[in-house]
Amino acid sequence: MGKIKALFFDQDGVIIDTERDGHRVSFNMTFKEFGFTDEWSVDYYHELLQIGGGKERMKHHWQTKGFSKPVSAEDVDELIKNMHKRKTALFVQLIESGKLPLRPGVHRLMKEAMIAGLKIGVCTTSNEQTAKAITEDFLPDIKFDVVLAGDVVSRKKPDPEIYNLALNLTGLKPEEAIVIEDSRNGVLAAKSAGIHVVVTTNYYTEHEDVSSGDIIVSCLGDPGGENCQLRKGKIQYDGVLRVEQLVDYFSK
């Protein structure tokens, strides 16, 4: 097994717990601005999260439930494109307001990775503008070697395309990287690419089947702060998952 050389982070639900109180809220605000009465509940949005990509979720909603006022097949793609652009702007405003904090342990783990000389990447199906806002505004002291977002790949998670691209761009073998994910689709994507996976669950994903992850925790943990609960993995820990532990664990 090769020496670990990189950490690739998913974004939504891993770096910031954005889904329930970020993306979902921004979608609902967008519907209202565009004259629709559609409103995605917490539970319904969980269903939609099984579909990778925001535009794809809106398209699925239109196909299965329909919008609150009729939209023709000829017009729906352009409408969704425009709504998603506005939704992204609203979400970025929400991010920049500072109302959605980083999840426990994320910044610490990235700093440890930098000190250890590991490459750091973000691999997300979220919009590129959103990824830029989070990496630059929330994590300005982190050097990212690769940030892959939005439509940089044609097939979204659970397809492994985004992680295969990350490996190609960094020149690494699958066994030389670790992915930090939170959802079933993300775990399936990383595993299909042959990469080690650490799962950090959240409100939406704690009951999903992420059992194929190598290590599963409730969060990454911070000394003196919220500690993680280890749910899978034969690793010595004190409530805080550290880069040194992960490198040793996956390099054996």
Give me the active site residues, please. 10, 12
The label of the residue with tokens 């909603």 reads 61
Distance (Å, whole) CA 211 – CA 225 = 26
Which residues does 32 contact at the CB level (< 8 Å), separation at least 6?
none
Instruction: Measure the CA–CA gap between 242 and 112, rounded to whole angstroms.
Output: 8
Sign of the alpha-carbon torsion through 33, 39, 42, 43: negative
Amino acid at position 214, single letter: D
Cα gap 245→131, rounded to integer Å = 28
Query: Are 125 and 162 within 8 A, CB to CB?
Result: yes
First-to-last alpha carbon distance for the chain, in angstroms, is 6
**What is the Cα–Cα distance from 20 to 250, expressed in whole angstroms?**
32
Dist. CA 147–CA 46, nearest whole Å? 25
Q: Which of 219, 225, 224 is nearest to 241 (CA)?
A: 219
Over its C-alpha atoms, the chain yields an Rg (Å, rounded) of: 18
Helix/strand/coil percent split, the chain, to 5: 45, 10, 45
Residue with tokens 């904090």: 101
